[in-house]
């Protein structure tokens, strides 16, 4: 990725070139403490630090506002972390009010906030409802106290239930994150977590296998006893559709009409403006990342207005193959007409020929207008994607 002081202006120019909807991701990096498996940028919350960060975030928002065209508006906003609920309800009131004044947001926009059970409260829910937040994504991970203790989570199962119940009663569309492949985890305990989430009224579930990535504390000394995740994932593919949930993406299941529009924007390579320390964005075929430390972010915003630390252009065949992989994450797959119009018929033919020749026939499905993965294909998606890229 290139890195220089003009990158923020280049991304701003790409934002200004838009004539339609875009998405916004805002990173809130504060956590109560760092979980041992987490590789996302986050820091412990300290007194006064969040106020300084929000002031910088406002400066960054104002920087990009100057580039926005009259016809551009945000169709989705997503606040991730970190733990966004480490911000107080008063800070949320101020931040959401500022965003309403400075970023044009569609009247039917999807606005999502991530929440963790230990810090989410009814006061958060009240402020969010007032300020048009429509979705709450709760980092439950498990409804088993043993699992939560092993993961180093700062909440227990009771607190997780309380958080989900608060969000559901608050009138939000609620998603629960659940994790499988944990130490000594059984299919029975996994099923118990899934069924508990459904019983509490969630309309979306994101299922993740525990991964030990570079940058997390466990990377240097992975824990023993982790279970094979395949049975848990396959059981979920069998059980959730029987409860009205469709698997619309590799890790995501939802009731009809409750899929994440924001995440779908990533898989379709739609424009995403990333704001905040450690945020990633994608505008005008340019993928970029912001400064990944509070110090670097503060220095960059104060000096340049934006905080872009690196950028790469993704075009041509590389962009087409990346797009194919991202589209194949979803139940909709690759739409032939739109894909060939954007990337060319030749590359579409090449991708289809590769899958027909090298992938098992029961792992993908072709219709007259599209190609998508079957449930079995989603279970071996990494191997199928490697054939394309």
Task: Report the CATH number that the domain containing residue 249 is assigned in CATH.
Answer: 3.20.20.70
Quick one: pLDDT band at residue 6, thresholds 50, 70, 90? confident
> Which residues share a beta bridge with 257?
none
What CATH number has the domain bearing residue 378?
Answer: 1.10.10
Q: Is the pLDDT of residue 4 over 70?
A: no
Same domain, 212 and 347: no
Contacts of 376 (CB under 8 A, 6+ apart): 360, 362, 363
If asked whether residues 78 and 221 sit together in one domain, one would say yes
User: What's the pLDDT score for residue 109?
Assistant: 98
pLDDT at 2 over 60: no
- The reply to whether 357 and 212 lie within a common domain is no
**Domain contains 160:** yes
- Express each pLDDT in 16-53 by its tens digit: 999 899 999 999 999 998 899 998 899 988 889 999 99
Average pLDDT for 319-346? 97
Structural domain contains residue 223: yes
Across 67-91, average pLDDT: 95
pLDDT, tens digit (0-9, with 9 covering 90-100), for 115-132: 999 999 999 999 999 999
155 and 221 belong to one structural domain: yes
Question: Tokens 């990342």 belong to which residue?
Answer: 289
The C-alpha angle 33, 36, 40, rounded to 5 degrees, equals 75
Residue 3 has pLDDT above 60, yes or no: no
pTM as predicted: 0.96
Residues 231, 144 share a domain: yes
| Structure confidence at residue 307 (pLDDT) | 96
Please, what is the Cα angle at 360 between 355 and 366, to 5 degrees? Answer: 55
Q: Is residue 1 in a domain?
A: no
Instruction: Check residue 297 and give its pLDDT.
Output: 97
pLDDT tens for 214-267 read: 888 998 899 999 999 999 999 999 999 999 999 999 999 999 999 999 999 999
State the average pLDDT over residues 325-346.
97
Residue 87 near residue 98, CB atoms below 8 Å: no
Sequence-separated (6 or more) residues with CB below 8 Å from residue 384? 328, 355, 359, 363, 364, 373, 377
Q: Is 123 helix (H, G, I), strand (E, B) or coil?
A: helix
- Confidence (pLDDT) at 315: 93
Task: With respect to residue 363, please indicate whether it lies within any of the assigned structural domains.
Answer: yes
Q: Is position 276 within any domain?
A: no
Query: What's the structural domain count of the chain?
Result: 2
Residue 184, in any domain of the structure: yes
Tell me the pLDDT tens digit for each residue of 255-313: 999 999 999 999 999 999 999 999 999 998 999 999 999 999 999 999 999 999 999 99
Q: What's the domain range around 340?
A: 323-383
Instruction: Report pLDDT digits (tens) over 91-115.
Output: 999 999 999 999 999 999 999 999 9
Last residue of a domain, one of 267, 298, 315: 267
Distance CA 340, CA 346 (A): 8
pLDDT in tens, 344-382: 999 999 999 999 999 999 999 999 999 999 999 999 999
Cα–chain-centroid distance for residue 255?
18
Residue 127: its pLDDT value, please?
98
pLDDT, mean over the chain: 95
- Structural domain contains residue 290: no
**Is 367 found in the same domain as 261?**
no
Q: Is residue 227 part of a domain?
A: yes
User: pLDDT band for position 5 (50/70/90)?
Assistant: low
pLDDT at 71: 84
């Amino acid at each position: 990725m290139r890195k220089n002081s003009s990158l923020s202006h280049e991304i701003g120019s790409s934002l200004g070139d838009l004539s339609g909807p875009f998405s916004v991701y805002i990173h809130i990096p504060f956590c109560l403490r760092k979980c041992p498996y987490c590789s996302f940028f986050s820091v412990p919350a300290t007194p006064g630090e969040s106020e300084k960060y929000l002031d910088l975030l406002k400066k960054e928002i104002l920087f990009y506002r100057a580039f926005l065209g009259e016809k551009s508006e945000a169709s989705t906003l997503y606040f991730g972390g970190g733990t966004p609920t480490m911000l107080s309800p008063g800070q949320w009131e101020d931040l959401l009010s500022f965003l309403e004044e400075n970023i044009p947001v569609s009247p039917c926009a999807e606005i999502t906030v991530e929440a963790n059970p230990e810090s989410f409260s009814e006061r958060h829910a009240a402020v969010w409802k007032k300020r048009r937040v429509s979705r709450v994504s709760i980092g439950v991970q498990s409804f088993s106290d043993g699992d939560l203790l092993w993961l180093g989570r700062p909440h227990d199962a009771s607190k997780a239930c309380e958080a989900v119940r608060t969000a559901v009663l608050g009138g939000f569309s609620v998603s629960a994150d659940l994790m499988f492949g944990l130490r000594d985890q059984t299919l029975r305990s996994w099923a118990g977590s899934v069924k508990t989430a459904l019983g509490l009224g969630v309309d979306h579930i994101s299922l993740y296998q525990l991964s030990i990535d570079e940058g997390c504390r466990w990377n240097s000394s992975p824990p023993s006893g982790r279970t094979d995740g395949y049975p848990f994932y396959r059981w979920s593919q069998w059980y959730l559709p029987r409860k009205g949930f469709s698997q619309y993406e590799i890790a995501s299941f939802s009731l009809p009409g409750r899929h994440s529009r924001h995440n779908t924007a990533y898989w379709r390579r739609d424009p995403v403006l990333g704001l905040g320390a450690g945020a990633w964005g994608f505008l005008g075929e340019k993928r970029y990342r912001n400064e990944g430390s509070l110090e670097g972010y503060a220095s960059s915003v104060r000096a340049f207005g934006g905080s872009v630390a690196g950028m790469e252009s993704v075009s041509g065949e590389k962009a087409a193959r990346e797009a194919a992989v991202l589209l194949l994450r979803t139940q909709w797959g690759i739409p032939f007409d739109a894909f060939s119009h954007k990337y060319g018929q030749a590359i579409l033919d090449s991708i289809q020929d590769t899958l027909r020749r090298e992938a098992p026939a029961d792992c993908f499905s072709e219709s007259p207008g599209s190609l998508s993965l079957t449930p079995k294909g989603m279970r071996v998606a990494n191997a199928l994607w490697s054939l394309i890229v």
